[in-house]
Amino acid sequence: MTGRELLALSGADGVAAVQAGEVTAADLFDLYRARALDHGGGADGGLNCFSWIADDLPPEPDAASPLAGSPVAVKDLFCTEGVPSQAGSRMLEGYRPPYTATAVARLQAAGATLLGKTNQDEFAMGSSNEHCAFGVVRNPWDPARVPGGSSGGSAAAVAAGLAPWAIGTDTGGSIRQPAALCGIVGLKPTYGAISRYGMIAFASSLDQAGPLTRDVTDAALLLAHMVGSDSADATSVGLPEAVVLPSRLELSGIRLGVPTEIAGAQIEAGVLGAFNDTLARAQQLGATIDHEIELPHARHALAAYYVLAPAEASSNLARFDGVRYGHRVEAHDGDDEQGLVGMYMRTRHDGFGAEVKRRIMLGTYALSSGYYDAYYGRAQRVRTLIAEDFKRAFEHVDFIVTPTSAEVAFELGAKTADPWSMYLNDYFTVPMPLAGLPAISIPCGLAGSDRGLGPGGAGLPVGFQIAGPAFSENKLLEVAYALEQSIGFDGARAWL
Ligand code: GLN
């Protein structure tokens, strides 16, 4: 096979080709390694999506294994033994953990190989990959625009054809939103489906790993080899049934619900157009659409999320103190604070970026005595109400659909001066993790009809989000697959 033919293989197709002896795992690995080196670094106009690229193929993979040596790009938030795992932070620069995250270890046990680690917003806090200590990541559809975040490196790598597939993490949208902005598929599984062991913690009650892939079949295949309970993560329970590769081509009997708030939300015209086209398509495939779904508390999801996630982060990030691992700045003579406290202060001042410091301050404030009930306690109650809203809605419909993001990929720098405008980008993605629910984003078309970029982002990909009840992954994948097959989105346009 020629390089271009190899590149055209999806992750699952590549696995099948290796298993059938049509290509070797080494050839696939070499192709992607060369592409990642050419376009994935930050120099020479590269996308800067990789923070580390493997030197060579690890011990000859078993071509008969379920993932047949396929190279996977892994978000830098996952600990990988002996390999830099920096979570996009100066604080962990050069940190090489002594163990591998369970999600990655499972993929490796199934035969996958580590192609590289991908850049991300620092500690997964962000929606644009501009909060990364190792430079911004660029969107392959238009390098002047963001890839989304925080798993933007993984999304950009897959969209540009620098990796057959990738994994990331989603706390408030960090898999789905970059997938949407880069024109690929991103799946956030039900909370607890995949072990969080070895994922550098952001907000532990929300964090969940998942695949970023070219298509829905690839998402299902990676998911199948990531799920499972793990004694190292007491919240991991796996999925009740084995993941089945989707094959359904119609949607008869499927009830899709559109939240009423969509009508009032500020959604870009191009995004709304592609969303409505997809609803019409779903209807043609046999689905019924209910436009009257009420999620009365969802409009408070963003406010609750931006209390709860920073609160958990402020506690989780207390471990970065310069003592045990990572960055350390000794106190200097003449500093106000000397000794251990001075070392803590200088280390954290120097090691954390501005967004991370903002979250730590917000979260510490929300948890402080006297304010705890007013902020953290109240946000927890809102969280429960949101979960109940979803439960009620799923008595009427099978899935809830929204645009993944109200806008297409925005220009670098457009939102960095105004944190709230950045947070608003997560409007449609934060309710599901608050309720622990699975949700997938699939590309549903371009805003505008051609690739020529125009005002309003004409020609940039739009994501369609489908959310389901807890543990409904198999059915969710079926619905996403039927739509994907009908849409026929051509992601290869963004390959470099
Ligand atoms: N953009 C959201 C945030 O900044 C979500 C991040 C995530 O899912 N990790 O917190």
Do 179 and 74 fall into the same domain?
A: yes
Residue 219 lies in a domain: yes
> In angstroms, what CA-CA distances link 328 with 13, 59, 71, 304?
46, 35, 34, 33
Under the banding of pLDDT at 50, 70 and 90, the label for residue 450 is very low
Answer whether 123's CB lies under 8 Å from 86's CB: no
Do 243 and 332 fall into the same domain?
A: no
What pairs with residue 121 in β-bridges?
none
| Residue 81, number of CB atoms within 10 A of its CB | 16
- Token readout for 11 is 């992750």
3-state DSSP assignment of residue 451: coil
Do 210 and 325 fall into the same domain?
A: no
Domain-terminating residue out of 379, 409, 437: 379
Q: Which of 76, 118, 127, 314 to mutate to test the pocket of ligand 1 (most atoms within 8 A of CB)?
A: 127
Domain-terminating residue out of 348, 379, 410: 379
Chain mean pLDDT for the chain: 95
Answer whether 217's CB lies under 8 Å from 12's CB: yes
What is d(CA 421, CA 437) in angstroms, rounded to the nearest whole number? 25
Do 240 and 351 fall into the same domain?
A: no
Whether the predicted pLDDT of 347 surpasses 90:
yes
Burial of 191 (0-12, 13-18, 19+ CB in 10 A): buried
Is 150 designated active site? yes
Q: What pLDDT, on the 0 to 100 scale, is given for residue 24?
A: 94
Domain-terminating residue out of 350, 379, 408: 379
> In angstroms, what CA-CA distances link 469 with 291, 397, 416?
18, 10, 34
The per-residue DSSP string of 190-204 comes to: PTTSS--TTBPPS-T
Residue 216 lies in a domain: yes
What is d(CA 215, CA 460) in angstroms, rounded to the nearest whole number? 18
Better pLDDT: 487 or 454: 487
C-beta of 88 in contact with ligand 1 (< 6 A): no
Do 404 and 359 fall into the same domain?
A: no
Do 355 and 314 fall into the same domain?
A: yes
Q: What pLDDT, on the 0 to 100 scale, is given for residue 439?
A: 99
3-state DSSP assignment of residue 207: coil
Do 310 and 444 fall into the same domain?
A: no
Sequence-separated (6 or more) residues with CB below 8 Å from residue 34: none
Residue 312 lies in a domain: yes
3-state DSSP assignment of residue 64: coil
C-beta of 174 in contact with ligand 1 (< 6 A): yes
> What is the number of domains present in the chain?
2
- Token readout for 330 is 């000794």
Residue nearest to atom 10 of ligand 1 (CA): 125
C-beta of 309 in contact with ligand 1 (< 6 A): yes
Under the banding of pLDDT at 50, 70 and 90, the label for residue 318 is very high
Do 347 and 408 fall into the same domain?
A: no
Whether the predicted pLDDT of 49 surpasses 80:
yes
Do 11 and 68 fall into the same domain?
A: yes
Write the pLDDT tens digit of every residue in 399-410: 999 999 999 999
Closest CA relative to residue 425, chosen from 214, 147, 157: 147
Whether the predicted pLDDT of 458 surpasses 90:
no
Residue 90 lies in a domain: yes
Instruction: Report helix angle 269-284 to 473-487, nearest 10.
Output: 100
Find the 71 Cα to ligand 1 centroid distance in Å.
26
Sheet (strand 50-53) strand order: 50-53, 113-118, 71-75, 165-170, 208-213, 185-188, 439-447, 460-467, 399-403, 255-259, 288-293
Do 110 and 178 fall into the same domain?
A: yes
Do 133 and 229 fall into the same domain?
A: yes
Is 117 designated active site? no
What is d(CA 174, CA 426) in angstroms, rounded to the nearest whole number? 9
**Domain extent at residue 116:** 3-253+397-494
Under the banding of pLDDT at 50, 70 and 90, the label for residue 334 is confident
What is d(CA 101, CA 103) in angstroms, rounded to the nearest whole number? 6
C-beta of 206 in contact with ligand 1 (< 6 A): no
Sequence-separated (6 or more) residues with CB below 8 Å from residue 384: none
Please tell me which residue in 89, 128, 150, 472 is annotated as part of the active site. Answer: 150
Q: E-strand spans in 171-315?
A: 185-188, 208-213, 255-259, 288-293
Q: What pLDDT, on the 0 to 100 scale, is given for residue 294?
A: 96
| Residue 333, number of CB atoms within 10 A of its CB | 5
What is d(CA 275, CA 282) in angstroms, rounded to the nearest whole number? 11
Closest CA relative to residue 433, chosen from 229, 87, 189, 148: 189
Tokens 């799920």 correspond to: 227
Mean pLDDT of 341-364: 96
Answer whether 150's CB lies under 8 Å from 174's CB: yes
Residue 27 lies in a domain: yes
C-beta of 173 in contact with ligand 1 (< 6 A): yes
CATH for 48:
3.90.1300.10
Residue 236 lies in a domain: yes
Residue 263 lies in a domain: no
Do 366 and 408 fall into the same domain?
A: no
Tokens 């978000």 correspond to: 75
Q: What pLDDT, on the 0 to 100 scale, is given for residue 81?
A: 98
Under the banding of pLDDT at 50, 70 and 90, the label for residue 452 is very low
Tokens 């992954």 correspond to: 473
What is d(CA 186, CA 176) in angstroms, rounded to the nearest whole number? 5
Find the 149 Cα to ligand 1 centroid distance in Å.
7
| pTM: predicted TM-score of the whole model, two decimal places | 0.97
Residue 392 lies in a domain: no
